[in-house]
Amino acid sequence: MPKTQEEVFQIIYNGLIFVGIILSIVALSINSHSNANVSISSYTFIIAGVTLIIGFLINKILNLPNLSKLGFFSVFLTNVGPFLLLIGILAFTLYLIISFKDKINSGNISSAYGLFSKLTIAFILIQLYITYYGMQSPEFKESGSLSKIYSSFSYLVGVINVSIVLILASILKYFSTDG
């Protein structure tokens, strides 16, 4: 049984993200009319879990002693920035899927959509793995701060994923048919 509030948050955000990952894997494996619905559900669960992590990290940052304004922004960008980038990617992808749900479910989209959709999911999972692994490191457990290596690598994967999502947006907007 969890003893601290921190452990309760970890159980909740791990559960939400785990359900989102399982649904993402299901979305990768199906090519039916419900693909958009499964993707919407998976992204929603992951967004909820990552939002809890952001709140948890902001709470840790605010409780750090003797932190100047410049130090606060540095720690904020190192710790919370990768998660904010991930939330932005997830939110924009969710917006695209909801906006073009009927076309996606009916199959009136370019075949390239499937490839870039799967790439987006893969890069989201990679970014989640990197940040989660960084949160399990002894440095994070001691100081509450992500290592700069994990943070930088997460930013790199996030920037690559932003370009993939922008390609996905152009595929959905300009290479869709009405049936």
For 51-101, the pLDDT digits (tens) are 998 888 888 888 777 778 787 888 888 888 999 999 999 999 999 999 998
8-56 residue pLDDT tens? 888 899 899 999 999 988 888 876 666 788 889 999 999 999 999 888 8
Residue 138 has pLDDT above 90, yes or no: no
Contact residues for 116 (Cβ-Cβ < 8 A; gap 6+): 164, 167, 168, 171
What's the whole-number mean pLDDT along residues 170-175? 88
What's the average model confidence in pLDDT over 144-168? Answer: 91
Greater model confidence, 163 or 33: 163
Q: Residue 81 class from Cβ within 10 Å (0-12 exposed, 13-18 middle, 19+ buried)?
A: middle
- Please compute, for residue 176, the number of CA atoms within 13 A of its CA located in the half-sphere on the CB side: 21
Higher pLDDT, 112 or 167: 167
Query: What residue spans define the domains of the chain?
Result: 5-174
Tokens for 123, please give them: 């890069």
Q: What is the pLDDT of residue 77?
A: 87
Nearest of 136, 91, 121, 127 to residue 22 by alpha carbon: 121
Give the integer Cα–Cα distance in Å for 51 and 74: 20
Q: What is the pLDDT of residues 118-135, one digit of tens each?
A: 899 999 999 999 988 888
Tokens of 34: 């419900």
φ, ψ of residue 4 to 5 degrees: the values are: -125, 165
Q: What does pTM read for this prediction? A: 0.89
